């Protein structure tokens, strides 16, 4: 968890406003009914200035989340992308986490959100590795949650909707109260899905695997980047379901997400994972770090540069 330190500005409905003025009414519809979709994106320092990682893919997922929830976004993909770039430039800090959110606004109450105007905001703040800097090398202790992961018959996991995170929050609180760092959620047939805000990967006998989209996960953009990097590194990879006990018998396990980066899992339900050495995880982590910091020519197309002297529209 992080105490958010205020920056200079937040983008709200088409313009940058001072941080302290980016407020919503207490009767905001999305606040009551969870009708909000959002994204989590990062800008990172590179030798040629700040760059946003896979911005187009994140905005595409944002648009898809809105489609699933019948939300008419009042901004185009290009406008949203430009807003993210302007926001990072205006706040003047290269390494920030960027949070676009679209939600049903104030004015109407009741369960049909289609009559509420859709509001869009984008905030940014400084956020280190979500599961702890030290755990990028040491690894986290995970537990299998007693909460079942939502599925597309109830809350579609592929829409990054605020309501989904009540399920994630229940699992996270349970894990924290039991003395673990992070939960892993199973689906309704007992197969591994993901963490509360990260995808899960397993390495066994040299093969890297991650549950398929059909298991009930959010299709992570970090996950997709890892698949591409693994392929480029000549590592064996498959999308496959695995069970709770296959977590225990893995050679390596790791979480992957924009907030968490690539974080090894050193223990599940009190059982140490593998030998405690994570060569494949560290190799992928290194290559991913190279990609996000513009040190790998093969992945420069994933970066959107933020011109630091860019004039920002009022």
Question: Least CB distance from residue 188 to ligand PLP, whole Å?
Answer: 16
Q: Which is closer to ligand PLP, CB of 50 or CB of 261?
A: 261
Question: Least CB distance from residue 139 to ligand PLP, whole Å?
Answer: 18
Give the 3-state secondary structure of 1-45. Answer: CCCCCCCCEEEECCEEEEHHHCCCCCCCHHHHHCCEEECCEEEEE
> What does the alpha-carbon distance between residue 168 and residue 283 come to, in Å, rounded to a whole number?
29
Catalytic residue among 160, 172, 204, 231: 160
Smallest CA-to-CA distance from 159 within 262, 290, 59, 61 is with 61
Q: Provide the H-helix boundaries in 126-278.
A: 135-138, 164-177, 221-232, 244-248
List binders of ligand PLP among 236-275 (CB under 6 A). 257-258
List binders of ligand PLP among 203-222 (CB under 6 A). 217-218, 220-222
| Among 40, 49, 156, 305, interactor with ligand PLP by CB under 6 A | 40
Whether 160 is a known active-site residue: answer yes
Residue 65 binds ligand PLP (CB under 6 A): no
- Write the Ramachandran bin of 110: left for phi over 0, alpha for psi from -120 to 50, otherwise beta: left
Find all residues with CB under 8 Å of 216, minimum gap 6, and list them. Answer: 149, 150, 151, 152, 157, 187, 193
Q: Which is closer to ligand PLP, CB of 116 or CB of 186?
A: 186
Residue 186 binds ligand PLP (CB under 6 A): no
Q: Which is closer to ligand PLP, CB of 9 or CB of 145?
A: 145
Pattern 72-111, ligand PLP, x by CB under 6 A: ----------------------------------------
Q: What are the two backbone dihedrals, phi and then psi, of residue 199, each rounded to the nearest 5 degrees? A: -85, 165
Interacting residues toward ligand PLP by CB under 6 A: 40, 194, 197-199, 217-218, 220-223, 257-258
Q: Which residues carry out catalysis?
A: 160
């Amino acid at each position: 968890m992080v105490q958010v330190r205020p920056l200079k500005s937040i983008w709200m409905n088409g313009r940058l406003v001072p941080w302290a003025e980016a407020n919503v009414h207490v009767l905001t519809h999305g606040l009551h009914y969870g009708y909000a979709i959002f994204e989590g994106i990062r800008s990172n320092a590179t030798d040629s200035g700040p760059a946003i990682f896979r911005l187009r893919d994140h905005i595409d997922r944002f648009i898809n989340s809105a489609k699933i929830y019948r939300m008419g976004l009042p901004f185009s993909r290009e406008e949203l992308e430009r807003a993210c770039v302007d926001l990072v430039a205006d706040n003047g800090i290269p390494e920030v986490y960027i949070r676009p959110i679209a939600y049903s606004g104030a004015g109407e109450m009741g369960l049909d959100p289609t009559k509420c105007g859709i509001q869009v905001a984008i905030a940014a703040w400084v956020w280190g590795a979500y599961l702890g800097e030290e755990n990028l090398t040491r690894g986290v202790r995970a537990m299998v949650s007693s909460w079942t992961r939502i599925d597309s018959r109830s809350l579609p996991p592929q829409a990054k909707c605020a309501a989904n995170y009540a399920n994630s929050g229940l699992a996270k609180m349970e894990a924290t109260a039991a003395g673990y760092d992070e939960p892993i959620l199973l689906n309704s047939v007992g197969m591994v899905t993901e963490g509360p805000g990260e995808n899960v990967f397993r390495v066994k006998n040299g093969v890297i695997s991650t549950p398929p989209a059909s298991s009930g996960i959010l299709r992570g953009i970090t996950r997709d980047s890892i698949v591409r990097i693994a392929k480029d590194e000549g590592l064996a990879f498959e999308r496959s379901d695995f069970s709770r006990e296959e977590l225990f018998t893995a050679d390596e396990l790791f979480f992957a997400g924009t907030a968490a980066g690539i974080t090894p899992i050193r223990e599940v339900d009190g059982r140490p994972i593998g030998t405690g050495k994570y060569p494949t995880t560290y190799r992928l982590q290194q290559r991913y770090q190279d990609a996000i910091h513009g040190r790998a020519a093969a992945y420069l197309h994933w970066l959107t540069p933020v011109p630091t002297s860019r004039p920002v529209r009022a």
